[in-house]
């Protein structure tokens, strides 16, 4: 194993899949000479040519529509949307076409397309550039919504997404691109399934259910809680549609308590859906109400001090855990 960044892991995944399968192409705004807004596609146009790495106009509907058409015609496009906030302009193509074509055509065709898009706040980009919005897409049958938190998962899940026969949204938190982590050596083939979560830290007293950047906040909180005699298990969903509910329920059965942690808004969000499923299928295993840590239910502020107050921190998670978990002495 070697250590690399989240950004490099994504680039490696695309490079390896383009080498493996000539049908894989990349399209998006500024992905050629500029290398993408977050430099994920840097160098791929020079390596594979501009027939396979194509810059597009600043028009998200065109990017998504072209990608869907290319996928239906036999290619395997990876479409980069500069930010999930702009994906709203492409939502008709994603929700009304990509997600439904296979069903509406009776299985006669499929749409093997990947939509890559950064999301999340914390970099002072203001209310229109700091949203998650994953809940909107996870609500739609026919789409897979993947939100890896580590370089290992980012590379493995992007490779799986490119090979998948259905449309996949790979949502990358913009504060994760510089995060470093272990990834198998170049040439060592691996993938990560799109329907399995992962236990990032084992524990016995409370289950922290989370995804994307919040995984790192939960790990930080779990470390702090351990010093106070509380053993927290961190369950990284990795994919919020489909959701690995069995992994969550098995963990809750062991710990008897749960806190759901997400960056997005509380009301009608992914976290409330997860909590509802735990209540529905694991109620008898709960010894306390489910905690829920989220961002503030308001547009993201631009001012740094206000932005910091708008998004969850590891101390918020610690506080939520302490509300439902007794400290056990003698550890």
Instruction: Spot the catalytic one: 8, 17, 60, 80.
Output: 60
Instruction: Spot the catalytic one: 129, 173, 216, 292.
Output: 129
Closest CA to 143 of 158, 165, 163, 173: 165
Q: Number of C-alpha atoms within 13 angstroms, CB side, residue 55?
A: 13
Q: Is 173 a catalytic residue?
A: no
Q: Is 60 a catalytic residue?
A: yes
Measured at the CA of 6, the angle between CA 28 and CA 164, to 5 degrees, comes to: 60
274's CB contacts (< 8 A; 6+ apart) are 209, 237, 243, 248, 260
Counting every residue written for the chain, the total comes to 331
301's CB contacts (< 8 A; 6+ apart) are 127, 307, 309, 310
Q: SS3 sequence, 39-86?
A: CCCCCHHHHHCCCCEEECCCCHHHHHHHHHHHHHCCCEEEEECCCHHH
d(CA 315, CA 313): 5
Q: Kindly list the catalytic residues.
A: 60, 129
């Amino acid at each position: 194993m070697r250590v690399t960044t989240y950004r490099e892991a994504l680039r490696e995944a695309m490079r390896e899949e383009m080498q493996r399968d000539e049908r894989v192409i990349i399209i998006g705004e500024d992905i050629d000479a500029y290398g993408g807004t977050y430099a994920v596609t840097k160098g791929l146009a020079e390596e594979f040519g501009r027939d396979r790495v194509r810059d597009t106009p600043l028009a998200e509907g065109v990017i998504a529509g072209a990608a869907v058409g290319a996928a239906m015609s036999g290619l395997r496009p990876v479409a980069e949307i500069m930010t999930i906030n702009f994906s709203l302009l492409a939502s008709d193509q994603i929700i009304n076409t990509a997600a439904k074509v296979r069903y509406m055509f009776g299985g006669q065709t499929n749409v093997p397309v990947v939509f890559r898009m950064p999301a999340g706040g914390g970099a002072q980009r203001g209310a229109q550039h700091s949203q998650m919005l994953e809940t909107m897409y996870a609500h739609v049958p026919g789409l897979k919504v993947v939100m890896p938190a580590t370089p290992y998962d980012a590379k493995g899940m992007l490779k799986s997404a490119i090979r998948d026969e259905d449309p996949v949204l790979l949502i990358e938190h913009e504060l994760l691109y510089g995060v470093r982590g272990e990834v198998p050596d170049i040439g060592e083939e691996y993938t990560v399934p799109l329907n399995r979560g992962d236990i990032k830290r084992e524990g016995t007293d409370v289950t922290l259910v989370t995804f994307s950047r919040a995984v790192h906040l939960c790990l930080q909180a779990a470390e702090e809680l351990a010093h106070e005699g509380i053993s927290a298990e961190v369950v990284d969903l990795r994919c919020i549609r489909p959701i690995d509910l069995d992994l969550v329920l098995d963990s809750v059965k062991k710990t008897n308590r749960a806190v759901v942690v997400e960056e997005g808004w509380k009301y009608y969000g992914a976290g409330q859906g997860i909590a509802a499923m735990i209540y529905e299928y694991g109620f008898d295993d709960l010894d306390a109400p489910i905690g829920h840590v989220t961002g503030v239910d308001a547009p993201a502020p631009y001012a740094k001090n206000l932005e910091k107050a708008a998004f969850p921190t590891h101390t918020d998670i610690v506080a939520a855990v302490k509300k439902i978990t007794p400290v056990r002495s003698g550890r």
